[in-house]
Amino acid sequence: MSSLLNRKVTVKPDLVARNNDDGTIVVMKMDESNLFFKIDGVAADVWKGLNDNKDLNQIFSEIQNSYDVSEEDLKKDVESFLNDLKGRDLIELN
């Protein structure tokens, strides 16, 4: 199975995100559900990178340089977050 880090991610256009002063990000889906999600830590760093149109390998490298975490644990965390976003229909994986 190939890594999600080699896939292209597109953030769905019907989302609004706000960066909070505490480092968290609130993402709201602009549809009839009015759902919102609060993300922080590594997940917030991934989200910021996606919004800056960085590829996943670049995002991963930047996060790895910023946190004291093993490559394996970080990969699991990032891929879990991406799968969660995909499951909530917030991103497309190509």
Task: Provide CATH code, domain 4-93.
Answer: 3.90.930
Torsion over CA: 64, 76, 3, 52 (sign): negative
Give pLDDT tens digits for 21-39. Answer: 999 999 998 888 778 899 9
Q: What is the pTM of this model?
A: 0.88
Q: How far apart are CA 93 and CA 23, in angstroms?
A: 25
Residue 77: the pLDDT is: 93
With a cut of 50, which residues of the chain have pLDDT below it? Answer: 1
9 strand-pairing partners: 93
Contacts of 26 (CB under 8 A, 6+ apart): 17, 18, 20, 36, 37, 38, 39
DSSP tag of 7: S
Residue 45: the pLDDT is: 95
Residue 2: the pLDDT is: 55
Residue 31: the pLDDT is: 82
* Domain boundaries of the chain, sorted by first residue: 4-93
